[in-house]
Amino acid sequence: MPPHPSFYVRADLLSEVGLFDTSYRIAADYDFMLRCLRRSSVKVKYVPSVMVRMRAGGVSNASLSSMLAKSREDLRAMRSQGTGGWPTLIAKNLRKLPQFFSAGSR
């Protein structure tokens, strides 16, 4: 899953997939990316350059309760888009673990 600050889409895709669903308090960006990436017409390009630098943290990682709320919203987004499920959610969260160990060294 690409980080949301470096996920760029063409404006015409917005009319197809819609804007952010504000019923998600934390995972609106994740739901939006899933909706975009599910389109067969979407071509993904990888740009091997640093375009955004982020600090670790944020609303989704502020506390254990925030992380659980984010996970519930992620699972809801996956289910509403007919993709992923528990294995995807677990893998998504496990892939984020290294950032917590490297965050203190920056």
What are the CA-CA distances from residue 70 to residues 34, 54, 59 (Å)? 15, 18, 9
CB 46 within 8 A of CB 38: no
Amino acid type, 75: L
- What sign results for the dihedral spanned by CA atoms 100, 94, 40, 15? negative
So what's the pLDDT on residue 78? 92
Q: Tell me what the mean pLDDT of segment 56-80 comes to.
A: 83
Does 106 have pLDDT greater than 50?
no
Does 73 have pLDDT greater than 90?
yes
User: How many percent of the chain have pLDDT more than 90?
Assistant: 25
So what's the pLDDT on residue 2? 66
